[in-house]
């Protein structure tokens, strides 16, 4: 049930373990994608079948790009808290740094802590020089995370997602010592 489904590395922060997806993560991911109040308010919930496809797409990201979503857990508990990672769908102009925290994990700073770690990994290990976040224009919680990460926006909307503003993260230096 907890067998890794990708070749994702394991990253650690002071409080968190960031690991690749496991089969056992699917029920909590499905519950979140089908019923989370944050997704309901933005009209972004999906069916159980669409959640399953989304979960598999996340696994496919690791196979295709060598990056994807990390599942967040605490050091002493393997229950998923949410996902933070990198996305690059075929119709997206740039690599996105994205986060989805499950409701009970919101407000603890986990998204910021994990996103900082993933961003550093992207810059140093994946040679990505610039990251973007596509954030719904009404999603103040995610906008606050982006600000804490030093990302900025001028309000320009993403061509592939008209309700999302483009947030630009500070550039990285790939393979810096």
Give domain status of residue 24, yes or no: yes
Model pLDDT, residue 80: 96
Number of domains in the chain: 1
Give domain status of residue 75, yes or no: yes
Give domain status of residue 97, yes or no: yes
Distance separating alpha carbons of residues 100 and 123, to the nearest angstrom: 21
The per-residue pLDDT for range 127-173, each reduced to its tens digit, is 999 999 999 999 999 999 999 999 999 999 999 889 999 999 999 86
Give domain status of residue 2, yes or no: no
Give domain status of residue 1, yes or no: no
The per-residue pLDDT for range 39-68, each reduced to its tens digit, is 888 788 999 999 999 999 999 999 999 999
DSSP SS3 for 162: strand
Give domain status of residue 21, yes or no: yes
Can you give the CATH number for the domain in which 26 is found?
A: 3.40.630.30
Model pLDDT, residue 177: 42
Q: Which of 54, 56, 58, 34 is nearest to 44 (CA)?
A: 34
Q: For residue 175, what pLDDT band results from cuts at 50, 70 and 90?
A: low
| Cα angle 82-86-91, degrees, rounded to a multiple of 5 | 120
Model pLDDT, residue 1: 59
List b or e across 13-27, with b for residues whose CB sees 16 or more CB atoms inside 10 angstroms. eebbbbbbbbeebbe
Domain range for 121 is 11-168
Give domain status of residue 53, yes or no: yes
Give domain status of residue 87, yes or no: yes
Mean pLDDT of 86-115: 93
The per-residue pLDDT for range 18-45, each reduced to its tens digit, is 999 999 999 999 999 999 988 888 788 9
């Amino acid at each position: 049930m907890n067998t890794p489904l990708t070749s994702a590395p394991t990253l650690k922060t002071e409080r968190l373990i960031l690991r690749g997806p496991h089969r056992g993560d699917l029920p909590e991911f499905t519950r979140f994608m089908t019923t989370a109040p944050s997704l309901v308010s933005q009209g972004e919930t999906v069916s159980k079948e669409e959640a399953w496809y989304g979960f598999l797409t996340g696994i496919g990201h690791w196979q295709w790009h060598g990056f994807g979503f990390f599942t967040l857990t605490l050091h002493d508990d393997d229950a998923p808290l949410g996902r933070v990672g990198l996305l690059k769908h075929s119709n997206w102009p740039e690599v996105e740094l994205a986060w989805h925290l499950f409701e009970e994990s919101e407000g603890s700073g986990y998204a910021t802590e994990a996103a900082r770690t993933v961003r550093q990994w992207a810059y140093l290990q994946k040679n990505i020089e610039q990251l973007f976040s596509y954030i719904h224009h009404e999603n103040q919680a995610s906008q606050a995370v982006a600000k804490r990460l030093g990302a900025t926006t001028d309000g320009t909307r993403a061509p592939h997602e008209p309700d999302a503003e483009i947030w630009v993260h500070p550039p990285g230096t790939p393979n810096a010592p």
